[in-house]
Amino acid sequence: MNFIKFLLIWISQNLAIPFWVVGHIHLSIHNFHDFIEIISSLSMNIIVAIGFMYDYEQQTKDDRTTNTGKEN
């Protein structure tokens, strides 16, 4: 399960823009069946959204951006 979460986070951080290009530009330029185009685009966007949610959940658990390890 941890690997799947890691994979979804990695995909959402590294492939969001390529998925957007494929899902919105490439699929709309080529003549696919509407059903295949809609399902493909929705699937890619859902994968990215899930990865963003998992990453946000991890960020709120251990805030890596503000915690420098120094305690007062």
SS3 letters for 17-28? HHHHHHHHHHHH
Dihedral angle sign, alpha carbons of residues 34, 37, 40, 42: negative
Categorize the per-residue pLDDT at 31 as very low, low, confident or very high, splitting at 50, 70 and 90: low
Predicted TM-score (pTM) above 0.75: no
Mean pLDDT of the chain, nearest integer: 75
The more confident residue out of 29 and 54 is 54
Domain spans of the chain, in order of start: 9-61
What confidence score (pLDDT) does residue 15 get? 79
pLDDT value of position 6: 87
Find the mean pLDDT for residues 40-57. Answer: 85
